[in-house]
Amino acid sequence: MATRRKISSKSAPSSPPVSVITGAAGFLGSHLTDLLLAKGHKVVGIDNLVTGSVANIEHLAGNPNFRFIQQDVTEFLFFDGPVNYVWHFASPASPVDYALLPIQTLKVGSLGTHKALGLAKEKGARFLLTSTSEVYGDPLVHPQTEDYWGNVNTIGPRGCYDESKRFAEAITMAYHRQHKLETRIVRIFNTYGPRMRLKDGRVVPAFVSQALRNEPITVFGAGKQTRSFCYCSDLIEGIYRLMMSDYPLPVNIGNPREMTMLEFAREIIAATGSKSKITFKPLPVDDPKQRKPDITLARKLLGWEPQVELADGLARTIEYFRRKI
């Protein structure tokens, strides 16, 4: 049986809002933690540190409004005191991670989402699910709008991540409809910034680390597949606005500026002043050929759109990685 743990809180109903963040030591979870603390929330961060890192939250040591619990979100959680918001960020989120951890990826998307929803239901809290553009699979519609159902290979090597998020969306909507739970769903498109792991397999840390070492930059296929990159502070602001909105259906949050991987590799070489050359390798199985969010809904509903230009975001990200290499 899973270990049962209590997280006590002395907060009164009139005190600052209490937020629980799963995956709080991850790349995006840690940035959300910073934003909520800055906005006056008390934050309880939960992470099993499988892909998260204490280094991402070590600057919060001693902060009386932050508490960290090392625990797997698929275990039961019991809280004393109120909880106002549950932000479910926990999940492996890169091809390297879910290739190594396919079962854990499926479990956090299913059992973990179930546990997080149960906590929100028990406390009468509002719940936000971080879903992904990967629910669209290798899309046949471009750009991707929220009403597109996707083109996903359920049994392919990426299926564990894609389907865990599709299931998570389904159970979130089931709780919304059956239990009248206040729920929000964000579909995150490619995001980058400080606190990404050097070897997490995603394109930004891969290209930047190769460029900083003057190693060949690995582009898959002919490099014609496209992505769009949103800086982390823009994304977190959009997610915060979504949680505070009254909209229960999925919303795309991402940057609609689309570029090919070959263009992006050249952008990284220029930004780092690298001597790297570009090399080509076969395209991975089920790698999406196009990825670009339609953010019409986010603009209309949340008054949100990206503010950080790619050159500025890359400069901040590259500086972070220079200190890590």
By DSSP bridging, strand 5-7 and strand 77-79 are parallel
Per annotation, catalytic residue among 98, 136, 161, 175: 161
CA angle centred on 324, ends 318 and 325, rounded to 5°: 90
Report the amino acid identity of residue 64.
P
Active site residue 161: yes
Distance separating alpha carbons of residues 204 and 155, to the nearest angstrom: 27
Q: Got the DSSP string for 212-274?
A: HTTPPEEEETTS--EEE-EEHHHHHHHHHHHHTSS--SEEEES---EEEHHHHHHHHHHHHT-
Q: What is the DSSP letter of 110?
A: I
**Could you count the other beta carbons within 10 Å of the beta carbon of residue 263?**
14
Distance separating alpha carbons of residues 282 and 263, to the nearest angstrom: 18
φ, ψ dihedrals at 188, nearest 5°: -85, 130
By DSSP bridging, strand 18-22 and strand 85-88 are parallel
Task: Tell me which residue has tokens 């996707």.
Answer: 150
Residues known to be catalytic: 161
